[in-house]
Every structure is written in structure tokens, then in C-alpha cells.
Amino acid sequence: MDLTNLGRELFTLLCVGTFALVVWIAYSKSSRKRYDEVAAMVIEDDDRPEGSKGEEPTNGVKQ
């Protein structure tokens, strides 16, 4: 085994380890609460512009 193959093997192990760490952090229980809060913000967002008082949004389309 020469140094080039050893370097490639170490780089591959580093990439796999980094990927596993990212997946571990993303799916950990401590991140779940944060992700649930962000998901709820999107659903609870009121897409009405400032100053509109209960009118239906027209999205710029003339009726």
C-alpha cells in the first residue's frame, strides 16, 4: 500500500465520519423541539400584509 491509497482511505473515512456526525446531530432528540417550533411557525404565519383588516388577499389579481 502506498501513501496515495492511504490518503484516499483516510479521506473516505473522514467524509463518512462527518456525514454520520451531521446525521446524528440532525436527528437527535435535542434538535426535535427546535425543528417542531420552526415547523409550527410556518403553519401559524399569517400571510396578510400590514394594514389589511380581514379582507381576503387578492395576490394582485383584479377582480
At 8-59, the pLDDT tens digits run 999 999 999 999 999 998 888 888 888 888 888 877 766 666 666 656 656 6
> What's the rounded Cα separation, in Å, for the pair 31 and 13?
26
Q: Tell me the whole-structure pTM to 2 decimals.
A: 0.53
Q: What does the chain come to in residues?
A: 63
Cβ–Cβ < 8 Å for 25, 35: no
